[in-house]
Amino acid sequence: MQLRAGAGGIFMSILPSVLLLVVADGLRRGRRFAWYAAMIIQGALAILAGSYIAAALTPTGPNNSPNEGLGAIDVAAFHHPVSLILPLLLPILLLVLLLATRGLFHVSAPPKTYRHLTQAVLATAAILSAIYVTVGLALAPGFTPVPSLPELLADLPDRFLPLGFTLDLPPAFFPHSGAAVVLYEGVGTTFWIITAVMILGSFLRPAHNIHGADSDRARNILRATEGSSLSWMTQWNGNSYWFSSSGNSFIAYRVLSGIALTLGPPVGPPAELRATIEEFTHHAADRGWTPCFYSVPQNTKEVTVDLGWGSVQVAQETILDLPGLSFKGKKFQDIRTALNKAANEGIHTQWVSYAKAPLAIADQIHAISEEWVADKRMPEMGFTLGGLEELNDPEVRCLLAIDDQHTVHALTSWLPVYRDGAVIGWTLDFMRRRTTGFRASIEFLIASAALSFKADGYEFLSLSGAPLARIELHSTEEAAITPNQQRAGLDRLLERLSTLLEPVYGFTSLLLFKSKFRPRYEPLFMTYPDAAALPSIANAIGRAYLPNVSFLQSLSLAGKIIRHPTRTSSKRTDIQPSAGSHTAHPTPCLQEVQQ
């Protein structure tokens, strides 16, 4: 057996412990599959320990060597009976504990998760088996004695399970060349490492939620109660739904890297806000998730801070209060110029529903969006940033800048904001401009939408928020992006990340563009219960915004960041009270940035 005591043999000898460590992560998350796996492993260990004890206590026959097979254990070496039965007691006690706590492990994976896992494991085993037999024949002189094809096939089980080690059965042949040793020991080790990684991955997948497809129920609550200006985004694909015990509130979330990442605050009666947050926190903890509330307003932040959570500002929402809105005065010169130029060039607005738009209009909208994607060479961001799929909703309104030849120059989409069954405002989501279209079309569309919504009696219009960007007001007429020396380290890290991503996605440029409408600014926060989870939270947010980014696109993103020198955030960028020209506040970012 000393010939088997290489790295592979050692790994295979501790394989049950390795598998138990993997399963322990699933048990921590309340996974039902992990409970069954732990029962099987502990049961196998109990049977094996019992076999050893039975063999050790069985007298050897006259024709048997005392050091052969399971009888190799010398009872005299154990000075106390407990030391002999301890290897059996431990798995039995753990089996009893698992049975007693079975009710705690009720979290199931999404449908077909373990069917696909089984198929992947079997495929891995088949591929590695074929490699072992094929390469083994080619390397046969590197073994002693030289194995034949039947002997290699007969040896396959020992490569995947430590049967030879545990049963003390001598192998039929041994490797002596370097390549043969790597093959001999590497097949089983590779298989179990791959299997362990796949099992861990299944534990990280979102749990199967019985409310996962219940968007109709969530939409009814959204219409009847109250949420935030981002609440309509909870209706988008990719979200799961959790409903409070009262049935009056819900939270939209997605589970990534063990983080239950919410999209906005809870939706429901304000009086239930604290109870809803506490209940959802317990729900997440029971499943081994860390909750994280993302893009939530001040009132939600205050509740979580009272619960001992940490928080950081991640965006800044720009809001136009409609009742007193008027684009008069020098500070709105750019806006009036855009409105006047559009009229002079024969460009007007047209409200449409993308879901019901004429084919000629829908094709142009699709072409404008595809033009943006092709120019960007980066995937569209998701999560709180909508695309064409999110446009295809009868309750989402689209405003087009269109000329007399029915050419669409640009478009914006607007999400409804409900309170107590009525729409009280609208949130800007999708913005696209044709490259050859009217240059000031986005200013024209936003201003036209604001005036239209004001005439219809709505309360406010939200221009939404730009991730990782913020504006700090220094007076009623001046805003500037400035560093705050008192910010926590996490704030400074987010500011640095915003600076790095600016050449690619232009979040700060977008926020500067929105400032020309002189909006009211409201901070949006991320709140979290444990700072130790911040690396996982950062990974979850990145995967939420860029779920389909490829390796080549990741390299492209890194290349763009490296090629563009970062601008030091210590330099103050002022937004003058009087609206500047288009050269002072360029808008190409609207062609480059979704939102």
Q: In angstroms, what is the C-alpha Rg of the chain? A: 32
Spatial distance between the Cα atoms of 536 and 540, rounded to a whole number of angstroms: 6
Look at residue 350 and give its three-state secondary structure: strand
Phi, psi of 365 (to 5 degrees): -60, -45
Termini Cα distance of the chain? 64
The set of residues, in sequence order, having a beta carbon less than 8 Å from that of 233 and lying 6+ positions away, is 252, 263, 264, 384, 386, 390, 415, 429
- The residue with tokens 């007693």 is 100
Spatial distance between the Cα atoms of 29 and 211, rounded to a whole number of angstroms: 19
- Give the start-to-end residue ranges of the domains of the chain: 113-208
Phi, psi of 169 (to 5 degrees): -95, 130
The set of residues, in sequence order, having a beta carbon less than 8 Å from that of 347 and lying 6+ positions away, is 401, 402, 403, 409, 438, 441, 444
Mean pLDDT (the chain) is 80
Q: For residues 277 and 260, is the Cβ–Cβ distance under 8 A?
A: no
DSSP H helices, 245-358, are: 273-286, 298-306, 333-344
Q: Could you give the C-alpha distances from 536 to 7, 334, 385, 430, in angstroms and in order?
A: 32, 43, 21, 29
- The residue with tokens 């290349």 is 559
pLDDT, tens only, 358-406: 888 988 998 998 887 776 666 677 888 888 888 888 899 999 999 999 9
Q: Could you give the C-alpha distances from 11 to 38, 46, 253, in angstroms and in order?
A: 19, 20, 39
pLDDT, tens only, 75-105: 555 555 666 677 778 889 999 999 988 877 8
Helix 178-204 vs helix 113-138: angle between axes, to the nearest 10 degrees? 180
pLDDT over 50 (residue 570): no
Q: For residues 445 and 399, is the Cβ–Cβ distance under 8 A?
A: yes
Confidence of residue 567 (pLDDT cuts 50, 70, 90): very low
Instruction: Return the ∠ at Cα 121 (arms to 118 and 125), rounded to 5°.
Output: 140
- For residue 297, give both structure tokens: 């307003």
Confidence of residue 261 (pLDDT cuts 50, 70, 90): very high
Q: Region 134-149: what's the mean pLDDT?
A: 90
Least confident window among 35-49, 196-210, 268-282, 302-316: 196-210
3-state secondary structure 243-273: ECCCCCCEEEEEEECCEEEEECCCECCHHHH
Look at residue 400 and give its three-state secondary structure: strand
Q: Do the strands 520-528 and 290-296 form a parallel or antiparallel pair, or are they unpaired?
A: antiparallel
Tell me the whole-structure pTM to 2 decimals. Answer: 0.65
